[in-house]
């Protein structure tokens, strides 16, 4: 019953909050469907046409009485907004983790790959310039910039340490893509000309698929990458192994 809806593994700190909403809406709609079906069937049988029985037309009930179902639904919806939607939205989309306390990466989407830019051990992102973009330098990183010396650019490999939020600045080189990782309950468009922040704190080690969720061209279906969640030690070891690339 716990995974009655077939939701994917929940692997981020806010996944359960999102799932609560998905479950609540599905179960409430299922209950309404059943109750409404029973009521509808009852009315059809109770007031079916019979020989010798003529229709009775009563005066309508009070306005308040006939509005009651709407009032109940409205109270439910207002409660959903006030006690669920606003707190969860502000937790995920407004209160971002502090950059100093996060693993920071820039993701530059393109047809048809995810370029992941890590600031390296110095924690500073090197300068990027669109004029330097080349097939061997997909994000136009300026290797002459001091801050860029230790930067790492990996294609389709997003490494994330456990126990720390990863803060992503998402952008696109060409068309609109969408950064989607179902296990993290994240889906965010990458829009050319904009830098959109997203964050996630993974809770389970593993490899999850990043799939572009916005039809972006002929090879859209191949625009996949790995989100690799590993222990802090393994993450540091990977950064060291790539250092100087």
Residues in CB range of 142: below 8 A, 6 or more apart: 126, 127, 128, 129, 132, 148
CA distance 187 to 179: 5
Q: How far is the CB of 175 from Cu ion (least distance, A)?
A: 7
Q: Which of 117, 159, 173, 177 binds Cu ion (CB under 5 A)?
A: 177
143, β-bridge pairs: none
Find tokens 């048809």 and name the residue. 112
Is the Cβ of residue 128 or residue 177 nearer to Cu ion in the bound state? Answer: 177
Determine if 173 is a binding residue for Cu ion (CB under 5 A).
Answer: no
CB distance 239 to 121 below 8 Å: yes
Find tokens 């300068």 and name the residue. 127
Q: How far is the CB of 195 from Cu ion (least distance, A)?
A: 17
Q: How big is the site for Cu ion, counted in residues (CB under 5 A)?
A: 4
The values of phi and psi at residue 66, to 5°, are -80, -20
Is the Cβ of residue 172 or residue 203 nearer to Cu ion in the bound state? Answer: 172
Provide the 10 A C-beta neighbour count for residue 128. Answer: 20
Binding span for Cu ion by CB under 5 A among 23-31, 61-69, 140-148, 209-217? 209-217
- Alpha-carbon dihedral of residues 22, 2, 76, 65, nearest 10 degrees? 130
Q: How far is the CB of 141 from Cu ion (least distance, A)?
A: 21
CA distance 66 to 86: 30
State the binding string over 216-235 for Cu ion (x if CB under 5 A, else -): x------x------------
State the binding string over 130-169 for Cu ion (x if CB under 5 A, else -): ----------------------------------------
Which parts of this chain interact with Cu ion (CB under 5 A)? 177, 212, 216, 223
């Amino acid at each position: 019953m716990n995974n009655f809806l077939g939701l994917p593994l929940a692997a981020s700190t806010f996944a359960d909050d999102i799932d609560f909403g998905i479950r609540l809406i599905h179960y409430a709609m299922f209950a309404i469907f059943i109750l409404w079906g029973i009521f509808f069937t009852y009315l059809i049988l109770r007031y079916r046409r019979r020989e010798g029985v003529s229709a009775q037309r009563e005066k309508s009930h009070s306005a308040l009485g006939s509005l009651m179902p709407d009032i109940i639904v409205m109270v439910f919806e207002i409660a959903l907004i006030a006690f669920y939607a606003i707190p969860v939205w502000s937790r995920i989309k407004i209160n971002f983790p502090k950059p100093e306390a996060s693993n920071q990466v820039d993701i530059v989407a393109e047809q048809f790959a995810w370029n992941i830019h890590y600031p390296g051990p110095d924690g500073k992102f090197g300068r990027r310039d669109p004029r330097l973009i080349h097939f061997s330098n997909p994000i136009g990183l300026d290797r002459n910039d001091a801050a860029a010396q230790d930067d790492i650019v990996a294609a389709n490999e997003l490494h994330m340490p456990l126990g720390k939020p990863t803060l992503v600045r998402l952008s696109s080189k060409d068309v609109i893509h969408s950064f989607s990782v179902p296990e993290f309950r994240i889906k965010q468009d990458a829009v050319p000309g904009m830098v959109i922040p997203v964050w996630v704190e993974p809770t389970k080690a593993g490899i999850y698929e990043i799939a572009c969720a916005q039809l972006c061209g002929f090879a859209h279906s191949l625009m996949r990458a790995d989100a690799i969640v590993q222990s802090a030690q393994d993450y540091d070891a990977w950064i060291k192994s790539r250092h100087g690339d």
